Amino acid sequence: MMGIIRDKNTNRENFVFYADRIIRLLVEEGLNHLPVVETTILTPTGQEYQGVEFQGRICGVSIIRAGESMEQGLRDVCRSVRIGKILIQRDEETALPKLYYSKFPPDIATRYCLLLDPALATGGSAMKAIEVLIDHGVPEERILFVNLICCPEGITAVTDKFPAIKVVTAEIDGGLNEKKYIVPGLGDFGCRYYGTD
């Protein structure tokens, strides 16, 4: 599936279809990393089964725009999940990532947060988004950054600054090119998913 979405000849319909399948797998994997408590279940055969149960609460936070493509995958797995949003863009004057908009569930500080952005490139927007979540009271160790593709530069930048966060990804690529695209990569995820230039 990663081969299909990386292929420059893949049309938009297939790109969206396979990206959605990967996103669903990533969300399921992300949920596997949340803490659980042991619980005893009685099955219809009258036998006990030692299971586990998730006791916390989660929410999604998508980084606009590409991160919004991952919201449905989260909803498919967690019915009625709350989803916050963050818009970060490069400040024209300073060239640094700047927060333009954010909206979160009011009790976000008590939830595990799945931060959604398909590509971890330089880590600039991810670090800004994590900073905003921490400012809203979310402990670093309750943030799970979910992406489809990343590179060593981004992973190092994010985990050096926030060592307690977890990153769940589908593939780690070689690095970044001069335009800060991940290589070999898949191009601009948002443009390919939404069919824009």
Among residues 15, 112, 162, 189, the one that binds ligand URA under rule CB under 6 A = 189
Query: Phi, psi (5° rounding) for residue 114?
Result: -95, 105
Q: How far is the CB of 15 from ligand URA (least distance, A)?
A: 12
At closest approach, how far in Å is the CB of 40 from ligand URA? 46
Instruction: Report residue 108 as tokens.
Output: 């976000």
Cis peptide before 139, with omega less than 30 degrees from 0? no
* CB 41 to ligand URA: min, Å: 42
**Cβ distance to ligand URA smaller for residue 59 or 120:** 120
Residues 22-81 that bind ligand URA (CB under 6 A): 66
Q: Rounded to an integer, what is the distance from CA 113 to the centroid of its chain?
A: 9
- Which residue carries 């590179």 as its tokens? 151
* By the rule CB under 6 A, 17 interacts with ligand URA: no
Q: Residue 171 CB, nearest distance to ligand URA (Å)? A: 12
Is the four-CA dihedral 96, 98, 88, 196 of positive or negative sign? negative
Using rule CB under 6 A, residue 181 touches ligand URA: yes
106-145 positions binding ligand URA, by CB under 6 A: 119, 121
Whether the CB-CB separation of 151 and 175 falls below 8 Å is answered with yes
Q: How many other CB atoms are there within 10 angstroms of residue 108's CB atom?
A: 18
Contact footprint for ligand URA (CB under 6 A): 66, 119, 121, 181-182, 185, 188-190
